[in-house]
Amino acid sequence: MRSSTRILPSFAAAITLAAALLLTACGNGGPAVDTPRPALVVHPGALNLSAEAFAGDVRARQESPLAFQISGHLIRRLVDVGARVTKGQVLAELDPGDVGLNVDAARATLATAQADLQLAQAERDRYRALAAKQAVSRSQLDTTENTFKAAAARVQQASAQLDVARNQAGYASLHAPADGVIAQRQAEAGQIVAAGQAIFTLADDGDREVQISIPEQRIAAFKVGQ
């Protein structure tokens, strides 16, 4: 009986200490209680079965093919598809060798024609002096006059050909006619291109339009202004 009396107070003290430790743990660092979070709710509406969708492209209202005015060997392409260009910008170049030779040939032809004109003029002036002295016939004077006129015409023709050759030399560079974006490229450096052959397609800055594709069986369902 004496030993039982000593054990009971010790057991009660242990229970009291354990309860105190449990309460301390719950108050400091215990698991937090989850709080309810709001949820986003979307109510489905009625499906619009009348709506239709078609694939389409947005493009410039004005698209211009760009080409050289002369034929030649394309040696440089300075822009690519998607590049934004400004009016007057050089886009591509032809080999200037051939057009340069044409200019040299036209210049030489003009020099020859001018020399012939000087000779014909001197001959005409001499025959005019002789005709004034009645040393030559009228027909001989007319012949020298006609020779002089023909030489003068050849000078004018050679001068015009030189101007054309010089213009063609300027045509060896392809310039943008307006501001815009390169939409297509139809030639590569190294090609021999003909006069008028499209090298680029330029989409001009300005108005845009949408081009869509409608199935053939649905065309009758669409009206102008719908």
pTM over 0.75: no
- The whole-number pLDDT of residue 19 equals 52
Pick the more confident residue, 225 or 89.
Answer: 89
29 pLDDT tier (thresholds 50, 70, 90): low
The residue among 82 and 18 whose pLDDT is bigger is 82
User: Would you report the helix, strand and coil content of the chain in percent, each value rounded to 5?
Assistant: 45, 20, 35
Q: In what order do the strands lie in the sheet with 198-204?
A: 63-67, 198-204, 180-185, 84-85
Single-letter residue type at 53:
A
Mean pLDDT (whole number) for 42-48: 68
Compute the average pLDDT of residues 86-97.
93
Residue 108 has pLDDT above 80, yes or no: yes
Residue 99: per-residue pLDDT: 83
3-state secondary structure of 149: helix
Q: Please give the average per-residue pLDDT across 79-84, as a whole number.
A: 92
Please say if the pLDDT value at position 87 is more than 90.
Answer: yes
Residue 137 pLDDT > 50: yes
> In a 10 Å sphere around its CB, with 0-12 CB exposed, 13-18 middle and 19+ buried, how is residue 171 labelled?
middle
Percent of the chain at pLDDT exceeding 70: 82
32 vs 134, residue with greater confidence = 134
Residue 226 makes CB contacts below 8 A (sequence gap 6+) with: none
- Tell me, what's the pLDDT at 63? 87
Indicate the helix (H) or strand (E) that contains 200.
strand 198-204
3-state secondary structure of 72: strand
More confident of the two residues 35 and 132:
132
- Specify the 3-state DSSP secondary structure of 126: helix
Helices within 93-208 (DSSP H only): 96-132, 138-170
Residue of 189, 195, 201 whose CA lies nearest to 167? 195
Q: For position 92, what pLDDT does the model report? A: 95
When pLDDT is averaged across residues 178-197 and rounded to a whole number, the result is 92
